[in-house]
Amino acid sequence: MTGPTRTGDHRGMPVPDGVEGERIDAAIARMFGLSRTRAAEIIAEGNVTVDGSTAAKSDRLEAGTWLEVTLPPPPEAPTARPEPVPGLTVVHEDADIVVVDKPVGVVAHPTVGWTGHTVLQGLLASGVELATSGAAERQGIVHRLDANTTGLMVLAKSEAAYSVLKRAFKERVVDKVYHSLVQGHPDPLRGTIDAPIDRHPAGDGRWAVVAGGRPSVTHYDTVEAFRAASLLEIKLETGRTHQIRVHMAALHHPCVGDHLYGADPMLAERLGIGRQWLHAVRLGFEHPTRGGRVEFESPYPADLEAALERLRED
């Protein structure tokens, strides 16, 4: 099997060992490190042929046939332009770091296809100067939260802080504590989920517990139990995309309001929740330049607090 190639390349090859009999969209995704959705788009655009004939995504690859793939160049990364972000709160700022409380509906940095607010744009609009290490559209970003997950994020202002914080997250020495309201009652009430995560085989933007995925570890403890749901405190050892949401769904206790991962829409409607009930409530780490432990806390946003009050009234 060939390894990942440069985008924009045209490659011809016999069908590699290990993908015979596979659907062509799944094989292309594996061979070139793409999502299955992107592989299907490339096939639909006529950029994949088998023995000279344009392929369909459901075709199966046969040994001995000649495969040609043209990978279009990726779209240009969006630039970060200053733009005020309502509700974005600076919790702490010094010469090297800035800690923010991120509101709902905001992503960390600009991405292809995203037209809403970003943390990065909001800080630039406030005059905060961030580290320039890494990609231009990700200045100072050392970790991220989903658009509809609220709570604490730290960003680097100095190059020294950026390097130290990136290493701290990689080495798992940053304490990331979340609270989540999940459906039902986990059994046991306190536990650890150690299950690998990778892209969902459906290639539809979801992630899933998948054999051979990246190691992923989540610790949870029940804080408060209600008739239909449980409030959990969750600590992450790893930081995979959608990790909490995927792990809780794998336990059959999805985050309330998380329709992408199978949450009951009726419960969310009853509680007035229009997004997953998930909040980054505490963040702790060694200060990257001056040393010493720093810790920050974030109160629940109004919509999450209101949902809890409705449950308590029940």
Total residue count of the chain as it appears in this document: 314
Give me the residue label for tokens 């075709």: 59
The answer to whether 146 is a known catalytic residue is: yes
pLDDT tens-digit readout, 254-284? 999 999 999 999 999 999 999 999 999 999 9
Instruction: Of 189-193, 197-201, 234-238, 262-266, give the lowest mean pLDDT range.
Output: 197-201
Mean pLDDT of the chain: 91
Q: How deeply is 131 buried, as exposed, middle or buried, from its count of CB atoms within 10 A (0-12, 13-18, 19+)?
A: buried
**What's the alpha-carbon Rg for the chain, to the nearest Å?**
22
Domains (ranges, CATH) in the chain?
10-70 (3.10.290.10), 75-171 (3.30.2350.10), 172-286+302-314 (3.30.2350.10)
pLDDT tens-digit readout, 138-160? 889 999 999 999 999 999 999 99
Amino acid at the residue 78: P
Q: How deeply is 163 buried, as exposed, middle or buried, from its count of CB atoms within 10 A (0-12, 13-18, 19+)?
A: middle
Task: Return the higher-pLDDT residue of 76 and 210.
Answer: 210
Per-residue confidence (pLDDT) for residue 3, from 0 to 100: 43
Return the structure tokens found at 312. 């308590």
The CB-side HSE value for 227 (13 A sphere, CA atoms) comes to 8
pLDDT band at 76 (very low <50, low <70, confident <90, very high): low
Cβ-based neighbours of 32, under 8 Å, separated by 6 or more: 4, 5, 39, 69, 71
pLDDT tens-digit readout, 17-46? 778 888 999 888 888 878 788 888 899 999
H helix runs in 144-186, sequence order? 159-170
313 by DSSP, 3-state: which?
Answer: helix
Give me the residue label for tokens 């914080």: 165
The span from the CA of 155 to the CA of 140, in Å, is 5
Active-site entry in 101, 146, 187, 221:
146
The span from the CA of 189 to the CA of 179, in Å, is 14
Give me the residue label for tokens 């160049």: 73
Cβ-based neighbours of 284, under 8 Å, separated by 6 or more: 174, 175, 177, 293, 294, 295, 296
